[in-house]
Amino acid sequence: MRRRRLAVAAALFVLAADLVDSALTRTVYFHPRPLWLLVGGAAAAAAVLVLAPRVPSAALSLGAGTTTGGALGMLVAALVWSRGVPDPLIRGTVAFNLADVAIAVGDAILLGSALLIVWRQRHVLRQPI
C-alpha cells in the first residue's frame, strides 16, 4: 500500500508541476498530439501505475508515478490548450515541456530499478521452471 501511495503522490506532483509550469510560462511553441497517442499513453500510464507497485521496490514505484504524471500532464494539456501541448522549455532548436522530462526521467528510473531488481535476483532466473 505504501508503494502505491508513493506512485500516486509522484504522479500527482508531476501532473501539478507540469500544468503550473505550462500555465505560467509564456511560449510560442505548441505541438498537437494525435488522439491515439493520448489514449495509448493514458492506458499505458494507468497500467504502469497499477502494476509497478506490486513489485517490492520503492524506486520502481517512484519511476512509475513520475512517468504516469508526465503522461497525464500531456493528456490534460492536450485537452486544455486548443493550440496543442505547450512547450515552454527551449534548449537550442528543441522545444519541450516538463511532462516530456518527467516521462524520460520516470522511464529511466523504471528501467534502472528493474535492471537492479533482476541483477539482485539473477539466481532465481537460472532455476528450472
* 56's grid cell: 517490492
Q: How far apart are CA 64 and CA 49, in angstroms?
A: 6
**C-alpha distances in angstroms, 107 versus 20, 37, 63, 82, 97?**
22, 17, 6, 28, 16
List, in sequence order, every residue forming a beta bridge with 85; answer none if it has no partner. Answer: 31
Question: What is the structure's pLDDT at 89?
Answer: 85
Burial class, 22, CB count within 10 angstroms (exposed 0-12 / middle 13-18 / buried 19+): buried
* Domain ranges across the chain: 2-125
Q: Taking residues 81-105, what's their average pLDDT?
A: 90
pTM score:
0.88
Q: Taking residues 88-117, what's their average pLDDT?
A: 92
Question: What is the structure's pLDDT at 101?
Answer: 94
Query: Per-residue pLDDT for 10 more than 90?
Result: yes
Q: What is the CA radius of gyration of the chain?
A: 16
